[in-house]
Amino acid sequence: MLGGGPPVHLMWSSMFNPDSPQPKRKVDLRRIGRFFAPYWREETLILICIVAVSVLGLLPPLFTKWLIDDAIPQHSMKLVFIYVGAMIASAILAGVIGVVQGYLNSYVGEGIMRDIRTSLVSHLHRMPISFFTNTKTGEIMNRVSNDVDNIDNIVTGTLVTIVTNIVMIVTTVVTIFVLDWRLAIISVAVIPLMIFPLSPVGRRMYGVRKRTREKRDEIESITQETLSISGITLIKSFVREQFERSRFFQVANDLMRLEIDLAMIGRWFIMLIGAMVVIGPAFVWMGGSWLAIGGTLTVGTIVAFVAYLSRLYGPASALAGVQVQVVSAAAVFERIFDYLDMPTEEAACDGSQMLENVRGEIVFENVSFSYGERQALRDVSFRIAPGQTAALVGPSGAGKTTITQLVPRFYIPQSGRVEIDGHDICDLDLASLRNAIGIVTQETYLFHDTIAANLRYGRMDASDDDLVSAAKAANIHDFIAGLPEGYQTVVGERGHKLSGGERQRLALARVLLKDPRILILDEATSSLDSHNEAMIQSALERVMENRTSLVIAHRLSTIISADVIFVVEGGRIVESGTHALLLARGGAYARLYLEQFRDEVLTAP
């Protein structure tokens, strides 16, 4: 066994000691069952189809027996025609029912997949942002697409196989006992050897299957990262194609070995079972011949029996194989349940109060916050009155962005309170809180869709006129109107067919359509050149009027016009006040002012 995972000796020891403690909890079958429940009508129909096909399959050997024992000895062509005709008719009927069952199988399988996929995705939508900063996108993608695809195999393949085979075995056993109980006992005696408990194989398969899934996560992550527009640009500019190739090869190679292991596990057992399929009939021929020579059995019965054996041993060996599949399929369900069990962001602080008639007062009270171990904010307190503009300034890494992210509850502080209009935001309904807040950051995200569709993300029912006036306010309308396809232009992957400044102005227009009471701008105009920024500045001022704005600014003009400036350093607010007041004090702000804005000050008219 190559590659990662538990040491080989551990796996083998657990093979030989089935009672050793299982590292994994049992899969919750009831929980899996809940996904099947809505399809009970189709499932009942499938069951009926299976039974019907199975019973129809019992008929041909019987007709064969009667053909040999009655029709031929009686020299009756009429009977021959009847039996042969019935043989053909039952086969055709079974085929037709099989087609119907195939449709139902797909319907149930695909339906359950749709349901699981949707609940998985909608659960992911409600996961906190920290989950997404800590998890590779590729891993998430893999679970939503590949893992769920695997469930389809379990549902339409494995489950139906199990039921079909059980029904086949039961009906066949009943039939052969009715035909001749002595021969039936010989036939059945061989079966236990076949469904010999395969649990050690299943357990090993479970482990390998699980590691295979993890490798696939890795592959998906690498693909995701290297084939994204930013990733590919990075690779090309550092000429790392060769390096990326070998990195990919290594993971792909690990996956190859795991898949081979997976294919080989249990092959020996399956081979043994295969041999039984030949050995079984041999015993039946022997016992049958002995009885026939004794005159207590007809040749037709022996022939029918041997035909039935394939309906007995085939299903039995299939069932043995399926048991292995079911155990390892648990690994897949487990990965999906892992995700579904992760707490959503509502769970962290479950407020239900609706935020209505927002005035827009923002208060931080002794807020401390860490990203895991890393403390980002220490005892931050401030108040922004409704309608005011507050500027956050300070060196990079000081905690400015972190402060803004606590307002829409993207993160929850470990201690202290964040309040809007006097409500602790933890008590507020999350959607009503976020509806009141508009955010534009430096990293604007656009969907690979038209400009109009991207803008409408801000307000779904916005009319074309609304779009135009928002675009005008953000000083992007003229640019859009100048494009050959205007508002129907597709912006490209992540908006990369636009310049940074154009993207940012689109993002501004989008948030203007949302028309929030509280506006957060995190270096939102940083990609704009000074010409553009000057043009947008007046628009912004109009926009910020009557709204509470929290602005992380990098331009002096924005800072100077703010009602209050908070200077952030090392996760604390070290100074606050107006530009003139802080400058006169000659403290941190004055230093920052000289360092950061000297050029701007000197070149200012």
Ligand X SMILES: Nc1ncnc2c1ncn2[C@@H]1O[C@H](COP(=O)(O)OP(=O)(O)O)[C@@H](O)[C@H]1O
Residue 376: name its binding partner from ligand X, Mg ion, none (Cβ under 5 to 8 Å by kind): ligand X
Q: Nearer Cβ to ligand X, position 528 or 553?
A: 553
Q: Nearer Cβ to Mg ion, position 317 or 401?
A: 401
Contact 140, 228 (CB under 8 A): no
Distance of alpha carbon 395 from alpha carbon 418, whole angstroms:
23
Show the tokens assigned to 88.
Answer: 């053909």
Q: Which of residues 500-519 bind Mg ion (CB under 5 A)?
A: none
Using Cβ positions, the residue closest to Mg ion within the complex turns out to be: 401
Min. distance of Cβ 377 from ligand X in angstroms?
8
Min. distance of Cβ 601 from ligand X in angstroms?
22
Show the tokens assigned to 553.
Answer: 């600014």
Residue 343's φ and ψ, nearest 5 degrees, are: -65, 140
**Site membership for Mg ion, residue 558 (CB under 5 A):** no
- Mark 396-415 with x for binding to Mg ion (rule: CB under 5 A) and - for no binding: -----x--------------
Min. distance of Cβ 554 from ligand X in angstroms?
11
Residue 14: name its binding partner from Mg ion, ligand X, none (Cβ under 5 to 8 Å by kind): none
Residue 470: name its binding partner from ligand X, Mg ion, none (Cβ under 5 to 8 Å by kind): none
Q: Nearer Cβ to Mg ion, position 378 or 497?
A: 378
Residue 371: name its binding partner from Mg ion, ligand X, none (Cβ under 5 to 8 Å by kind): ligand X
Q: Nearer Cβ to ligand X, position 38 or 397?
A: 397
Place of tokens 């604390």: 572
Min. distance of Cβ 550 from Mg ion in angstroms?
12
Min. distance of Cβ 442 from Mg ion in angstroms?
8
- Interacting residues of 557 by C-beta distance below 8 A, sequence separation 6+: 537
Residue 537: name its binding partner from ligand X, Mg ion, none (Cβ under 5 to 8 Å by kind): none
Min. distance of Cβ 274 from ligand X in angstroms?
55
Contact 494, 229 (CB under 8 A): yes
Min. distance of Cβ 398 from ligand X in angstroms?
4
Q: Which of residues 82-101 bind Mg ion (CB under 5 A)?
A: none
- Listing DSSP states for 82-107 in one string gives HHHHHHHHHHHHHHHHHHHHHHHHHH
Min. distance of Cβ 522 from Mg ion in angstroms?
6
Angle, helices 530-544/500-514, rounded to nearest 10 degrees:
10
- Mark 345-384 with x for binding to Mg ion (rule: CB under 5 A) and - for no binding: ----------------------------------------
Show the tokens assigned to 467.
Answer: 């779009």
Residue 407's φ and ψ, nearest 5 degrees, are: -65, -50
- Count Cβ atoms below 10 Å from residue 20 Cβ, excluding itself: 12
How far is the CA of 333 from the CAs of 24, 205, 328, 499, in angstroms?
13, 15, 9, 44
- What is the β-pairing status of strands 548-552 and 518-522? parallel
Residue 516: name its binding partner from Mg ion, ligand X, none (Cβ under 5 to 8 Å by kind): none
Contact 265, 316 (CB under 8 A): no
Given the rule CB under 5 A, which of 156-164, 217-225, 394-402, 405-413 is the region that contacts Mg ion? 394-402
Residue 125: name its binding partner from ligand X, Mg ion, none (Cβ under 5 to 8 Å by kind): none
Residue 389: name its binding partner from Mg ion, ligand X, none (Cβ under 5 to 8 Å by kind): none
Residue 524: name its binding partner from Mg ion, ligand X, none (Cβ under 5 to 8 Å by kind): none
Q: Nearer Cβ to Mg ion, position 401 or 444?
A: 401
The count of C-alpha atoms lying within 13 angstroms of the C-alpha of 552, restricted to the half-sphere facing its C-beta, is: 23
Distance of CA 43 to the CA centre of its chain: 26
- Count Cβ atoms below 10 Å from residue 122 Cβ, excluding itself: 10
Q: Nearer Cβ to ligand X, position 130 or 450?
A: 130
Distance of alpha carbon 584 from alpha carbon 573, whole angstroms:
18
Q: Nearer Cβ to ligand X, position 108 or 362?
A: 362
Min. distance of Cβ 507 from Mg ion in angstroms?
16
Angle, helices 299-341/77-125, rounded to nearest 10 degrees:
10
Rg (CA), the chain: 35
Strand partners of residue 567? 393, 575
Min. distance of Cβ 402 from ligand X in angstroms?
3
- What is the β-pairing status of strands 362-371 and 518-522? unpaired
Long-range pairs, 485-493, Cβ under 8 A, ≥24: 486/451, 487/450, 487/451, 487/452, 487/455, 488/450, 488/451, 488/452, 489/450, 489/451, 490/448, 490/449, 490/450, 491/446, 491/447, 491/448, 491/449, 491/450, 491/451, 491/454, 492/448, 493/228, 493/229, 493/448
Strand partners of residue 438? 519
Min. distance of Cβ 408 from ligand X in angstroms?
14
Q: Nearer Cβ to ligand X, position 126 or 554?
A: 554
Residue 402: name its binding partner from Mg ion, ligand X, none (Cβ under 5 to 8 Å by kind): ligand X
Q: Nearer Cβ to Mg ion, position 228 or 526?
A: 526
How far is the CA of 161 from the CAs of 59, 167, 200, 255, 258, in angstroms?
21, 10, 21, 28, 26
Min. distance of Cβ 592 from ligand X in angstroms?
12
Strand partners of residue 382? 364
Residue 175: name its binding partner from Mg ion, ligand X, none (Cβ under 5 to 8 Å by kind): none
Residue 112: name its binding partner from ligand X, Mg ion, none (Cβ under 5 to 8 Å by kind): none
Q: Nearer Cβ to ligand X, position 430 or 573?
A: 573
Number of residues that bind Mg ion (CB under 5 A): 1
Q: Nearer Cβ to ligand X, position 133 or 357?
A: 133
Min. distance of Cβ 516 from Mg ion in angstroms?
20
Q: Nearer Cβ to ligand X, position 134 or 463?
A: 134
Q: Nearer Cβ to Mg ion, position 401 or 504?
A: 401
Contact positions toward ligand X, by CB under 6 A? 133, 371, 374, 376, 394, 396-402
Residues that bind Mg ion (CB under 5 A): 401
